[in-house]
Amino acid sequence: MAFVGSIRVPSDKSISHRAVLFAGLAQGVSHLEAVLPSADVHATIDAMRLLGAHVDLVPGPHGLTGTVEGIGCA
C-alpha cells in the first residue's frame, strides 16, 4: 500500500536569510513562500532594500510570501 500525502516543514531562519539574500542578488524576479517573519530576517529584507532590491513580502498562511526583484550582481 502506497502512502500519499504532503508535509510542510516549518520555516527556518537560516534558510529564510539565504533565500532573501540570493533572490536580492539574482537577476529577475524570485517568488518566495514560508519566509520566517523574525526580526533578524526583517533586518535582512531591509538591507536588501537598501542595496536596491525590490522586496514585496507580506504575511501569508505559513510565513512571509511574495516576490523579490533582484539587483542582478554578477
Distance of CA 30 to the CA centre of its chain: 8
Strand 63-69 versus strand 54-60 pairing type: antiparallel
Q: What is the structure's pLDDT at 29?
A: 95
- Cα 4 to Cα 64: distance, rounded to the nearest angstrom: 27
Q: What is the structure's pLDDT at 6?
A: 73
Q: What is the structure's pLDDT at 65?
A: 95
CA-wise closest residue to 25 among 43, 49, 57: 49
Q: What is the structure's pLDDT at 74?
A: 61
Please indicate, yes or no, whether the overall pTM of this predicted structure exceeds 0.75.
yes
The pLDDT tens digits for 29-70 are 999 999 999 999 999 999 999 999 999 999 999 999 999 999
